[in-house]
């Protein structure tokens, strides 16, 4: 399996998904060699073998900006310097060389590559071993850039990866549609396998600490409804629409406040936007949160909004539901496909968002129903089901059906 | 007939900067002005000790020397309450040296708001309370009464002049801005429109800014500025006129212009050079008003300040973050005052200091003139978030007094 990160060295949902997926696959009997582009310890991962393709630390690897493709210089691999580990393309070239050596020694039955970061390595491994290639798409460049633009080199790599793949796994129908419509891939080559949430990973003795967000708790006692989002502040996340929707909601119903947990390039713009809309005191910026402050951000909330312009899946919504939030999810977020007891809206429809927020805030019955019912839904989605589907896909490729 | 003279007025101020005060501190800790790290310019004690060494101590030594050597040398000072409190805590010797200056009888203290606030534009009642508090503090500390008023950032309009006249001040200070003066010179005493007794002194910004802003600028065609040259300019400017109002930050000497620029030596030489001419002298602000009759009437319907090329309040009130901050702060006034809690009232008033919204200024993003603005924060947005959290915490503390209605988002 070719990945870019694993917990605890992950910066986002990709690492979490890879971890749970691999663990569930191992339980089904899969023997996994997992390649990461850095060197670090992974405590608790004993169900597969982790290979380090470079000597970089996880932090140095993160500095390459894997999730900000605008930082990736347009450089074909032939021009990349494998010894330049400060350059994203150099690291990818080294990663590919490592994978070449690995698959020569140890021929895989199937190659499973995650996102554009590892697609070139996947293609190369397939060329060398003739093993089938499964490309797993967690996000495309169209999602990351929040538009039709984006980095042309990354688009090209994604296109080649999708063409060369024997089977493609998309994390949602939204992602599948992008693969089919934007990259012209036949729909029957793409299988949708939604991510799951591992509820047991939250059973770690966590207790909500009321003093972390003491001021917000005081507001709750005053009858305020806390609307949260926990995310990176990038264009992809649709937060400007969210803040404008928040302002519209406040015009009609005053007892709302908004907790924006996270950080990112759009932060200053959002702060200025909130103040120009006259709701600065209703919008709370925490900065980057992790650990207790991160968990407690979910816990203090009543309603969780996922406002993404384009979200292939959106694991954080399931985490928020687990911590007792009612969910309001943009129709452009894949996680909404697997849940029913939620509100959905088009990311640009600020009036609709405001309506839904006021509706939840002013009806205890509605709020309680949403919070309770969604818990039964995400609980039914398990990584074992994901592993079963992946095993079927692996087997189908081995038989050469597609 | 009175001699022509320089009216030197220096403004002494330090704010209580807000520390990195996060959402997680809100309603848990109330120590907004107490940055624990000593490595940052948000640490008020660190900044104060630094500026005391670089500016307050050496400049007061120089002023004492000039007063001793030149019987005609005079100077006027406005000293904010937030400066005095910090000096009392961290540099009591600086307070003592100011007392010695005032005791000569040739150093006048100018009135202003205790907290260096923009209260005049938001709450007349709070504004007057701060003016009164400053007068009391000056009386206690120096044993003198203040007679001439300056508002924060030299902000001035006709309403302010009317207020100061009714209050009983004999003089008020303002920028000598060309669009107001038109063909007239700032080198005279004026009478503000619609007032009875008060007089207006207007800053000669060209000569003032030669010292305050341009002195150490190596790109300036006149660099390096000598005392002889500046004295020639001053003598030319005042020809057939009465006064030159040199108004600037006290911290010009040693902090804005470091000692190694030669600012102290320059100033000492200039005073001597100026007084070499028997026609020349120095006046305090009151002395100038007593010595000369007003030559005309000045009207400033719109607020004029001494800041930036615009000479307006946009550095403090130009963007929505700044406007919202002050709106929230002054909305708390009645609830805060009702508590009678001196600590809470003081914390609220320290937040009114104009520096806080100044740090939120974004207008240089269009000017490209970043270096004109000093801030101890990473960005104007960070400054805004910390102050917003302080406002929330003030609401939280109010809530415990009034039990209802204090919190508000």
Q: Which CATH class is domain A201-380?
A: alpha beta
CA atoms lying within 13 Å on the CB side of residue A48: 25
pLDDT at B347 over 90: yes
Percentage of chain B modeled with pLDDT above 70: 96
Q: What's the confidence (pLDDT) of residue B389?
A: 95
Q: For residue B341, count other CB atoms closer than 10 A to its CB.
A: 16
More confident site: A242 or B1: A242
Cα A240 to chain centroid, rounded? 20
Note whether B320 contacts A213, CB cutoff 8 Å.
Answer: no
Q: Which residue of B has its CA nearest to A282?
A: B409
Q: What's the confidence (pLDDT) of residue B1?
A: 74
Q: Count Cβ neighbours within 10 Å for each residue of A73-86 and write b for 16 or more, e otherwise.
A: eebeeeebebeebe
pLDDT at B138 over 80: yes
pLDDT at B265 over 60: yes
Q: What is the pLDDT averaged over residues B219-246?
A: 96
Interface of A with B (CB under 8 A): 211-215, 218-219, 222, 224, 257, 267-268, 271-272, 275-276, 278-282, 284-287, 293
Residue in A261, A275, A288 to test binding to B, most B beta-carbons within 10 Å: A275
Note whether A214 contacts B27, CB cutoff 8 Å.
Answer: yes
pLDDT range class, residue A401, cuts 50, 70, 90: very low
Note whether B23 contacts A284, CB cutoff 8 Å.
Answer: yes
Q: What's the confidence (pLDDT) of residue A397?
A: 87
Comparing C-alpha atoms, which of A242, A267, A280 is closest to residue B320?
A280
| Residues of B whose CB is below 8 A from A257 | 409
Residue with tokens 């001699």: B3
Comparing C-alpha atoms, which of A239, A398, A237 is closest to residue A332?
A237
CA–CA separation, B42 and B33 (whole Å): 8
Instruction: State in Å, rounded, how far the first CA of chain B is from the last one.
Output: 64
Backbone angles phi, psi at A170, to 5 degrees: -110, 145
Which range (A203-207, A289-293, B299-303) has the least confidence?
A203-207
Domain segments of chain A: what residues? 13-196+383-398, 201-380
Q: Give the closest of B379, B385, B392 to A215, CB-based.
A: B392
Residue B406 structure tokens:
């204090």
pLDDT at A65 over 80: no
Q: What's the confidence (pLDDT) of residue A371?
A: 94
Decide: helix, strand or coil at residue B129. Answer: helix
CA–CA separation, B95 and B142 (whole Å): 10
Instruction: State in Å, rounded, how far the first CA of chain A is from the last one.
Output: 20
Percentage of chain B modeled with pLDDT above 90: 92
CATH 3.40.50.11060 holds for A13-196+383-398: no
pLDDT at A247 over 90: yes
Name the CA dihedral angle for B351, B352, B356, B361, rounded to a multiple of 10 degrees: 150
More confident site: A336 or A84: A336
The catalytic residue among B35, B126, B153, B251 is B153
The tens digit of pLDDT for each residue in B351-395 reads: 999 999 999 998 876 655 544 568 999 889 999 999 999 999 999
Q: A13-196+383-398 and A201-380: same fold?
A: yes
Counting every residue written for chain B, the total comes to 409
pLDDT at A149 over 80: no
| pTM, 2 dp | 0.85
Q: Which residue of B has its CA nearest to A294?
A: B24
DSSP B143: S
Which range (A96-105, B270-279, B371-380) has the least confidence?
B371-380
| Residues of A whose CB is below 8 A from B23 | 213, 215, 284-286
DSSP secondary structure string for all residues of A332-393: TBGGGGG--SSEEE-TT-HHHHHHHHHHHHH-HHHHHHHHHHHHHHHHH--HHHHHHHHHHH
Q: What's the confidence (pLDDT) of residue B204?
A: 98
Q: What's the confidence (pLDDT) of residue A63?
A: 66
CA–CA separation, A49 and A29 (whole Å): 14
Comparing C-alpha atoms, which of B404, B381, B398 is closest to residue B339?
B398
Q: What is the pLDDT averaged over residues B274-283?
A: 97
Which residues, other chains included, contact A389 with Cβ-Cβ below 8 Å and sequence gap of 6+?
A191, A193
Comparing C-alpha atoms, which of A363, A311, A313, A358 is closest to residue A339?
A313
Is B153 considered catalytic here? Answer: yes
Q: What's the confidence (pLDDT) of residue A402?
A: 41
Residue B244 structure tokens:
């030159």
Note whether B362 contacts A213, CB cutoff 8 Å.
Answer: no
Interface of B with A (CB under 8 A): 22-24, 26-28, 319-321, 323-325, 328, 362, 379, 381, 384-385, 388, 391-393, 396, 399, 407-409
Q: What is the pLDDT averaged over residues A79-86?
A: 78
DSSP secondary structure string for all residues of A202-216: GTTT----TTTTHHH
Q: What's the confidence (pLDDT) of residue A73?
A: 61
Domain segments of chain B: what residues? 4-298, 314-402
Q: What's the confidence (pLDDT) of residue A67?
A: 56
Q: Are B153 and B306 in contact (CB under 8 A)?
A: yes
Residue in B21, B22, B24 to test binding to A, most A beta-carbons within 10 Å: B24
Residue with tokens 């890879």: A18
pLDDT at B224 over 70: yes
More confident site: B364 or A187: A187
Comparing C-alpha atoms, which of B250, B230, B247, B227 is closest to residue B238?
B230
CA–CA separation, B378 and B380 (whole Å): 7
- Tell me the ipTM for this assembly: 0.78
- Long-range (24+ apart) CB contacts under 8 A made by A107-112 are A107/A131, A108/A33, A109/A394, A109/A398, A110/A134, A110/A394, A110/A397, A110/A398, A111/A2, A112/A1, A112/A2, A112/A136, A112/A390, A112/A394
Q: What is the pLDDT averaged over residues B198-213?
A: 97
Q: Which residue of A has its CA nearest to B394?
A: A215
Percentage of chain A modeled with pLDDT above 70: 95
Q: Give the closest of B24, B321, B328 to A272, CB-based.
A: B321
The tens digit of pLDDT for each residue in A105-138 reads: 999 999 999 999 999 999 999 999 999 999 999 9
Q: Are B6 and B241 in contact (CB under 8 A)?
A: no
pLDDT range class, residue A66, cuts 50, 70, 90: low
pLDDT range class, residue A74, cuts 50, 70, 90: low
pLDDT at A76 over 80: no
The CATH code for residues B4-298 is 3.20.110.20
Query: Strand locations in B178-318, DSSP E?
Result: 189-192, 199-203, 243-249, 280-283, 297-298
pLDDT range class, residue A177, cuts 50, 70, 90: very high
Q: What's the confidence (pLDDT) of residue B181?
A: 96
Q: What is the pLDDT averaged over residues A204-225?
A: 92
Q: How many CB pairs under 8 A join A and B?
A: 68
Residue B264 structure tokens:
């102290």
Q: What's the confidence (pLDDT) of residue B59?
A: 98
């Amino acid at each position: 399996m070719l990945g870019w990160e694993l917990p605890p060295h992950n910066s986002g949902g990709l690492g979490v998904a890879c971890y749970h997926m691999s663990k569930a696959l191992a339980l089904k009997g899969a023997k996994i060699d997992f390649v990461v582009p850095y060197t670090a310890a992974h405590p608790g991962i004993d169900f597969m073998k982790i290979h380090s393709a470079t000597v970089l630390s996880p932090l140095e690897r993160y500095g390459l900006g894997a999730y900000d493709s605008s930082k990736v210089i347009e450089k074909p691999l032939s021009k990349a310097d494998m010894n330049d580990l400060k350059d994203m393309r150099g690291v990818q070239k080294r990663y590919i060389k490592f994978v070449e050596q690995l698959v020569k020694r140890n021929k895989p039955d199937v190659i499973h590559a995650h996102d554009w970061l590892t697609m070139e390595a996947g293609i190369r491994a397939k060329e060398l071993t003739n093993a089938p290639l499964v490309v797993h798409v967690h996000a495309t460049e169209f999602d990351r850039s929040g538009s039709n633009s984006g980095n042309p080199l990354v688009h090209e790599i994604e296109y080649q990866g999708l063409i060369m793949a024997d089977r493609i796994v998309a994390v949602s129908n939204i992602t599948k549609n992008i693969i089919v419509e934007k990259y012209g891939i036949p729909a029957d080559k793409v299988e949708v396998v939604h991510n799951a949430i591992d509820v047991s990973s939250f059973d770690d003795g966590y207790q909500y600490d009321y003093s972390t967000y003491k001021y917000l708790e005081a507001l709750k006692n005053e009858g305020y409804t806390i609307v949260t989002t926990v995310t990176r502040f990038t264009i992809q996340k649709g937060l400007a629409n969210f803040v404008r929707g928040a302002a519209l909601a406040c015009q009609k119903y005053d007892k709302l406040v908004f907790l924006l947990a996270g950080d990112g390039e759009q932060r200053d713009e959002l702060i200025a936007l909130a103040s120009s809309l006259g709701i600065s005191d209703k919008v709370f910026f925490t900065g980057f949160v992790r650990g207790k402050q991160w968990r407690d951000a979910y816990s203090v909330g009543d309603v969780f909004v996922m406002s993404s312009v384009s979200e292939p899946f959106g694991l954080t919504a399931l985490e928020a539901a687990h911590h007792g939030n009612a969910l309001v999810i943009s129709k452009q977020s894949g996680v909404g496909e697997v849940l029913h007891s939620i509100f959905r809206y088009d990311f640009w429809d600020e009036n609709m968002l405001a309506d839904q927020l006021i509706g939840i805030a002013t009806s205890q019955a509605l709020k309680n129903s949403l919070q309770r019912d969604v818990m039964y839904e995400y609980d039914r989605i398990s990584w074992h089901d994901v592993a079963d589907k992946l095993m079927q896909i692996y087997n189908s490729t081995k038989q050469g059906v597609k | 007939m009175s001699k022509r003279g320089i009216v030197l007025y220096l403004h002494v101020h330090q704010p209580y900067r807000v520390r990195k005060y996060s959402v997680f501190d809100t309603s848990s800790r109330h120590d907004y002005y107490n940055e624990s790290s000593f490595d940052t310019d948000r640490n008020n004690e660190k900044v104060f000790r630094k500026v005391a060494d670089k500016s307050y101590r050496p400049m007061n030594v120089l002023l004492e020397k000039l007063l001793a050597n030149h019987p005609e040398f005079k100077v006027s000072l406005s000293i904010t309450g937030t400066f005095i409190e910090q000096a009392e805590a961290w540099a009591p010797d600086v307070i003592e040296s100011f007392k010695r200056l005032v005791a000569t009888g040739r150093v006048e203290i100018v009135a202003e708001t205790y907290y260096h606030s923009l209260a005049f534009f938001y709450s007349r009642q709070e504004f007057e309370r701060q003016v009164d508090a400053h007068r009391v503090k000056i009386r206690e500390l120096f044993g003198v009464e203040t007679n001439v008023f300056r508002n924060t950032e030299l902000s001035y309009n006709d309403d302010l002049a009317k207020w100061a006249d009714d209050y009983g001040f004999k003089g008020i200070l303002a920028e000598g801005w060309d669009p107001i003066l038109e063909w007239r010179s700032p080198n005279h005493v004026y009478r503000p429109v619609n007032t009875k007794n008060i007089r207006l002194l207007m800053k000669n910004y060209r000569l003032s800014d030669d010292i305050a802003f341009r002195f150490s600028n190596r790109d300036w065609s006149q660099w390096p500025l000598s005392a002889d040259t500046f004295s020639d300019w001053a003598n030319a400017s005042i020809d057939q006129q009465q006064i030159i109002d040199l108004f600037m930050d006290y911290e010009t000497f040693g902090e804005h212009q470091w000692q190694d620029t030669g600012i102290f030596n320059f100033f000492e030489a200039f005073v001597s050079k100026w007084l070499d001419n028997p026609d020349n002298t120095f006046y305090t602000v009151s002395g100038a008003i007593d010595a000369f009759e007003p030559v005309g009437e000045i009207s400033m319907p719109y607020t004029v300040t001494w800041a930036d090329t615009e000479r307006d309040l946009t550095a403090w009130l130009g963007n929505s973050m700044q406007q919202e901050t002050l709106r929230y702060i002054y909305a708390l006034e009645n609830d805060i005052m009702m508590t009678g809690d001196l600590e809470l009232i003081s914390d609220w008033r320290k937040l009114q200091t104009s520096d806080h919204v100044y740090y939120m200024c974004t207008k240089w993003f269009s000017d490209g003139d970043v270096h004109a603005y000093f801030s101890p924060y990473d960005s104007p947005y960070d400054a805004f978030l910390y102050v917003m959290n302080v406002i929330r915490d003030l609401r939280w503390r109010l809530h415990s007094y009034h039990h209802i209605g204090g919190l508000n988002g």
